[in-house]
Amino acid sequence: MGIGLIAGLLLGLFAATLAQHNNPALAAVLFGIQPVGIIFKNLLSMVAIPLVATALFAGLAKLGELRALGRLVVRTLAFFWGTSVLAIALGFAIGSVMLPQAAVSPEKQAVLQAAAADPAAIQSAAATIPTGLQFIVQLVPANPFKAAADGNLLPVIVFVTIFAIATATLPIERRTPLINLADAATDALIRIVQWVLVIAPIGIFALVAPTAAQYGWDVVRAMLWFIAAVVIGVLVFIAVVYLPSAALIARVSPLRFLRAAYPSMFMGFSATTSMAALPNMIDAADKDLHIPRPVSGFVLPLAASINRGGSALFQAIAVLFIARLYGIPFGFGHMLQAGIAVFLASLTVAAVPSGGVISLFPAFQATGLPIAGLSILMGLDRISDMFRTMTNVTGHLTTAVVVAPREPAK
C-alpha cells in the first residue's frame, strides 16, 4: 500500500508539472484511471456497514450484562472527548507558532480563491448538519435499513446496540445461534476485505495520483505553511498522545502498535474515510493487537462515527489559517469560542462530503470569520483530509487498545 501511495503522489505531481507546460497527456491518463480507485473504495465501503452491524452485534451480545457495557461506554467516550480537547489545544498551539510565518501574498490568495468551492453550496450543506434535539431525534431510526442505505452510521449503531442488548438478556441457548451467525458473517466479510486488499496498491495509486495531478505544486506551495502545520500537528499528536496512551495504559509498545496499525493508517490516508479503513482495523485488532472481539466490535464502529481527534486538530489550525489569510486578529478569546464550537461539532456526525470543513460553520459564525473562507478549505480539502483521517484511524485503534485491558473477554 505504501508503494501505491508514494508512486501516486510523485507521478501525480509530475503530471501536474507537465500540464503546466502544455503537456496534459499524463494528467489525462491519471484522471482516466480514477474510476479504478473509486471502485476500490466502494468495494471497501460496501463491506463496511454490514461489518459494523455484525461485529457490533456479536461484541455487545457477548458482553452479557448491561454493567459491562456501561463501563465500556463510559471509558470509550471519556477517551474520545479527552483526546479531542487535547487535539484542539495542540492545534491552536502549533497554528499560533507556525502560521504567523506564512506570508500570504496576493498571488497566493488568488491561487487559493481559484481552488475554492461555492460558498452558497457550503451554507446549504451546513444547514443539513443536525444540531441539538434534532441530532438526538435522528439517533433513533424509524427505518434502520434506510439509515444503513443512506450511510448514516450512528442510527444503525443505536439500533444494533438495542438489538444486541435485548439478545444478551435471552437464555444462553436462545442467543448462542444469533451470536454464532453474527461471528460467521463477520469472518466472511473480513475474508472479502482480504480479497480486496490484494489490489490495494493499485487502488490507492488510482485514488491518490489524480488528486495530486489536479492540485499540483502551485496550490501546495500556496498552502505550504498550513499543510506543514497540519502534518506536524497530527504527527506530534500521535507521538505525544496516542502512542504514550497505548504504551502506558495498555502496555503495548509503540513499535508493535504501529506495526499493527499502519495498514489501517495507509487506508485511511488514501481513502480519506474511516469507514473504508474499518475492516482493516477490525482485522488488526483481532490478529495483531489481540483485542477481545466484544470490545473491538463495539469501540471501532463507534469510533469511526464520532472519534475525530485528527479532525479537531485540523479544524483548530484551519480557523487560525483563515484568520491569517484575511488579516483578522485572532486572540485567546476567539480561540476559546472556536474551540468550544469545534468540540461541540465533534459530538455530531456531518453526513455530508468534507464534513470536517462543513462542521466548522458554527466556529466561523461564533468568531466572525468570513464564511467564504470555508470555500477555500473545501476546495483544497482532499490534501488535509488525508492526514486527519490517518490520525483519526490511529485514534480509533488506540481507543480500542486503551479500553480493552480492563474489559474481560466473555
* pLDDT digits 0-9 by tens, 311-337: 899 989 988 888 877 777 778 888 888
Residues 10, 207 contacting (CB under 8 angstroms): no
Q: Quote the CA–CA distance of 364 and 322 in Å, as a whole number.
A: 10
Rg, Å, the chain Cα set: 21
* pLDDT digits 0-9 by tens, 116-130: 455 555 455 555 555
Closest CA to 248 of 401, 36, 48, 57: 401
pLDDT at 352: 46
Single pTM value for the model: 0.71
C-alpha cell read off for 101: 510565518
Least confident of 33-47, 97-111, 259-273: 97-111
pLDDT at 351: 43
pLDDT grade for 219, boundaries at 50, 70 and 90 = low
Is residue 376 predicted with pLDDT exceeding 80?
Answer: no
Measured at the CA of 387, the angle between CA 52 and CA 351, to 5 degrees, comes to 45
User: Looking at domain 2-403, which of 3.50.50.60, 1.10.3860.10, 3.90.79.10, 3.30.160.340 is its CATH number?
Assistant: 1.10.3860.10
Is residue 147 predicted with pLDDT exceeding 60?
Answer: yes
Residue with cell 444486541: 164
pLDDT at 400: 93
Dihedral (C-alpha) 372, 387, 186, 284: value to the nearest 10 degrees?
-160
* Mean pLDDT calculated for residue range 104-115: 55
- Mean of the per-residue pLDDT values for the chain? 79
The CA–CA distances, whole Å, from 312 to 24, 187, 232, 233, 385 equal 37, 33, 14, 11, 12
